[in-house]
Structure 1
Amino acid sequence: MDATPQIVAYQPSHRDALLDLSIRAWEPVFPLLETDVPGFVYESFYP
């Protein structure tokens, strides 16, 4: 497996990997935002 990152056009087959990456990247950020945004906004995006 090549560990070199590559930028490619999005394909529907990338969806699961992209969602996994996004969730892992944002997971530590969401708790920090809870007090800075209105509750209804926070609850719309997390968990």
Structure 2
Amino acid sequence: MENNSKNTEFYSMCNEYFTALRKTGKRDDGFEDEFFYTMPTISGQS
């Protein structure tokens, strides 16, 4: 259960990061690629 709360917190923080990037018109393609590649594994949806 602890892992799930850490994953939820990580996901939430990433969403905030992506939102901040969009507001400033910036991109972080490297992190975004890595995030979407690993998200199914983190969420248990692999």
Name the structure where helix makes up a greater proportion of residues: 2
TM-score, normalization by structure 2: 0.42
Larger Rg, first or second structure (1 or 2):
1
Q: Looking at both structures, which has the greater relative contact order when contacts are Cα pairs under 8 Å and sequence separation is at least 6?
A: 2
TM-score, normalization by structure 1: 0.42
